[in-house]
């Protein structure tokens, strides 16, 4: 999402989303002045605009899957992704996965923030699932800090396979940015396909998911 569209979203869409759905937002002071990788839990189709609240009016983008959609729905999603500058992903296509990583790295290096869901897909139960390594790999390639983001109660509004409900019940908790300086410096001297590098990815992923869980399950 370019700067102009992000500013417009900040003026018009953000207040509307907050009016209709948001009960509380905590930790806005933790949002970095520079760009970041926003790592959030994923319960609802509405998580996309909820995460956008923390990103506007910055330049930012998402990674969004495009497979599994057909007909008019597919065209609408592609149009929205194009307007919003979303990086399209075909989850069953290995080449698409590689292209997404390269595009995401390029966006981060150009100063864009990036929204990503480490679980990979929406949770049907609301419980946080195991995180994948994508966020860790993007961090190690760019050094851009990770901003943990917790969304509570969104599953009651628009869950996977469910219908949209309008209720002002969502709580957004924003954690402190994670820099992983030790891990970043260690990984710089390692081959990306080495066991040591993979272990660092696991450790970073576990720490990120723990932070997200703390934000979601805190009272």
Mean pLDDT for 154-164 is: 86
Q: What is the DSSP string of 48-65?
A: HHHHHHHHTTS-EEEEEE
- Report which of 178, 126, 120, 116 is spatially closest to residue 147, judged by C-alpha positions: 178
Q: Give the model's pLDDT for residue 12.
A: 95
**Domain residue spans of the chain:** 3-217
| Prediction pTM value | 0.93
CATH number of the domain at 3-217, out of 3.40.1130.10, 3.20.20.70, 3.20.80.10, 3.30.450.20?
A: 3.40.1130.10
Q: What is the mean pLDDT of residues 147-160?
A: 92
Q: What is the mean pLDDT of residues 5-25?
A: 95
Q: What is the mean pLDDT of residues 196-209?
A: 98
d(CA 43, CA 117): 10
pLDDT for 68 beyond 70: no
């Amino acid at each position: 999402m370019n700067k102009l569209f992000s500013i417009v979203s900040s003026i018009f869409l953000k207040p509307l989303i907050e009016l209709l759905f948001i009960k509380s937002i905590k930790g806005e002071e933790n949002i970095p002045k520079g760009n970041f990788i926003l790592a959030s839990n994923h319960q609802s189709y509405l998580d996309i605009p909820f995460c956008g609240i923390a990103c506007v009016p910055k330049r930012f983008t998402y990674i969004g899957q495009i497979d599994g959609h057909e007909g008019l729905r597919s065209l609408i999603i592609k149009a929205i992704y194009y307007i919003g500058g979303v990086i399209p992903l075909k989850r069953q296509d290995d080449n698409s996965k590689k292209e997404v990583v390269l595009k995401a790295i390029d966006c981060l290096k150009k100063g864009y923030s990036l929204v990503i869901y480490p679980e990979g897909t929406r949770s049907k139960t609301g419980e946080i699932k195991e995180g994948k390594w994508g966020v860790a790999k993007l961090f190690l390639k760019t050094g851009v800090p990770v901003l943990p983001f917790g969304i509570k109660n969104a599953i009651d509004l628009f869950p996977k396979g469910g219908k949209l409900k309008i209720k002002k019940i969502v709580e957004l908790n924003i954690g402190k940015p994670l820099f992983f300086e030790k891990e970043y410096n260690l990984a710089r001297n390692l081959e990306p396909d080495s066991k040591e590098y993979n272990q660092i990815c696991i450790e970073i992923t576990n720490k990120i998911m723990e932070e997200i869980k703390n934000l979601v399950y805190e009272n």
